Amino acid sequence: MCIVWASAFALIYYWIAHYLPGTIAIWIGVVSHCILDWVTHRPDMPLYPGGPRFGLGLWNSIAGTLVVEILMFATGVWLYVRSTRARDRIGHYGFIAYVGLLMVAYIGDRFSDPPSSIPDIAWTGIIAIVILIPWAWWFDHHRVLRTAREV
């Protein structure tokens, strides 16, 4: 099912953007997300609808979850910084503030109570759509790819 979902999302992206490198990145991202979910989830993920459920349960360890997820986040930030550079102050400080906010939100989420209602969960999605996605687009447009000599 992971490959089916990855292919579906990649095809939709390609249909809209006609950009093969992005299509491949979407496919790899969805497949890797499913694999990482298998590591973190308890056995609640079916291999196929109605099939046996799998998961290694990393979430059962708060410390283990923090170490693995913070390392993945830091790796992603490092890869982004290594492959782009700021054109101006927005590209520099906007990015730093964004990474800081994401880190504070992540740590705060790990040590807070679960959401008490569906609207509480919905607000997280609304904030992501209305604030975080446009913010990332904004600072990313103030950054450029590094040349081969800069890397």
Residue ranges per domain, the chain? 1-60, 62-151
Residues 6+ apart with CB under 8 A from 92: 86
Residues 6+ apart with CB under 8 A from 39: 55, 56, 58, 68
Predicted pLDDT at 83: 94
Residue by residue, pLDDT tens for the chain (151 residues) are 889 999 999 999 999 999 999 999 999 999 998 888 888 888 888 877 888 888 999 988 989 988 988 999 999 999 999 999 999 999 999 999 999 999 999 998 888 888 889 998 898 889 889 999 999 999 999 999 998 887 7
pTM of the predicted structure, to 2 decimals = 0.76
Predicted pLDDT at 67: 92
Predicted pLDDT at 2: 86
- Kindly state the tokens that stand for 148: 């081969």
Predicted pLDDT at 50: 86
Q: What is the C-alpha end-to-end distance of the chain, expressed in Å? A: 37
Predicted pLDDT at 47: 76
Predicted pLDDT at 92: 98
- Kindly state the tokens that stand for 45: 């993920």
Contact 71, 77 (CB under 8 A): no
Predicted pLDDT at 9: 95
The identity of residue 100, as a single letter, is: G
* Cα angle 103, 147, 9; round to 5: 55
